[in-house]
Amino acid sequence: MDWKLEVVVAPVADVERAREFYVDRLGFRLDSDYTAGESFRVVQVTPPGSACSIVFGTGLGGGQPPGTLKGAQLVVNDIEAAHAFLEERGIDNTGPHHFTETGQTPGLDPTRRDYGTFVWFDDPDGNTWALQEVKNPAR
């Protein structure tokens, strides 16, 4: 039996600002923007090539304060190109990092091994995303 991750909820304070960030700045596909009355709105976006979507809105339940999603990872096959993409769009980010015995270290993983290099960035509400370079997934 498959267990597929379908949606990640990103708690936000301003739905319009989040929509602009994810759709207009990051280029994620807008799947749905649904409103039911004044107290419920859900926006679903999907990163290019992803089978998993991101939702945000108002009245979604769960009670998570805005900015509390931390460490969700988006896999890219070229971390340098993804970093350049963020820079071109003025999205603050950490730049490439990898891990050594001493911890997080600036720069690309020296061997460019899969799962070895990361770039972190935040959405306008402080939800933190990690880009991770993977050319040959282990699954």
**Model confidence over 64-121: pLDDT tens digits?**
999 999 999 999 999 999 999 999 999 999 999 999 999 999 999 999 999 999 999 9
Q: Domain extents for the chain?
A: 7-58, 72-133
The neighbouring-strand residues paired with 129 are: 72, 121
**63 falls in which pLDDT band (50, 70, 90)?**
confident
- Please give the class, per CATH, of domain 7-58: alpha beta
Radius of gyration of the chain (CA): 16
- Please give the class, per CATH, of domain 72-133: alpha beta
pLDDT at res. 25: 98
Convert 5-28 to b/e letters by CB count within 10 Å (16 or more is b). Answer: eeeebbbbeebeebbebbeeebeb
- Fold matches, 7-58 and 72-133: yes
Cβ contact 119:94 at 8 Å: yes
pTM listed for this prediction? 0.92
